[in-house]
Structure 1
Amino acid sequence: MSGAGLIEAIEVLFSSKPLLVLILQFILGVGLGYVSVKAFKYVIAFIVLLLLGALLSLWSISEQAYALMSELGDLARRLMGLLVALGILTVGPLSVGFLIGALLALVKK
């Protein structure tokens, strides 16, 4: 790059609009980084709670599912497969708990 081309590039970069956009993007990036670090522990805790809830739900369902399947046979296998595929048994209690927790957080604000 020649000296004249470099000077033109610097002039374009430091003209009013590109400089303003550059500064605003930098400020937004700083804000995003700050908020992300502050919220990171809560996001991780949220994910861990969701995973633990799903694992507990699957663990409690497994014994009941096998007992039900042994008693009802083929119909129970089809029905249980459908329920597990839809996620009703694992997502239902966790979703209700999430809604109650969210409502408690809003009320205690």
Structure 2
Amino acid sequence: NPIPGSSSDANPCDKKGSLDISSTGKWHEIIYSGNTEGQCTLDFDNTYDYTYDSASKKIQVNYPNGTMKVYPVKKLTDTELELVEDASDINADGINDDYTLVLKRL
């Protein structure tokens, strides 16, 4: 089942997106951009291969262009997944900042 994105910082278009992580090693994410529910634009709808290492608590996603991304897992339950992300420089200091992405199954 897809896990919709949600947080106090997520706008309606962020919440419209989803992440489906299957037991068969497929990572399917749907991302929308925009600020209001009526103006959401589909950015992408892609499926990638992934592996999860339960010993190190890390998810490795393999992208089609040959790159891969490792996401440390802070929490994993039947209803919630917390991943650490460092994809952007939130405070404009020139260094990518870690933030926690909280995903809940609805």
Under a length normalisation based on structure 2, what TM-score does the superposition of the two structures give? 0.20
Would you tell me which structure has more strand in proportion to its own residues?
Answer: 2
**Higher Rg of the two aligned structures:** 1
TM-score of the superposed pair, with normalisation by structure 1 = 0.20
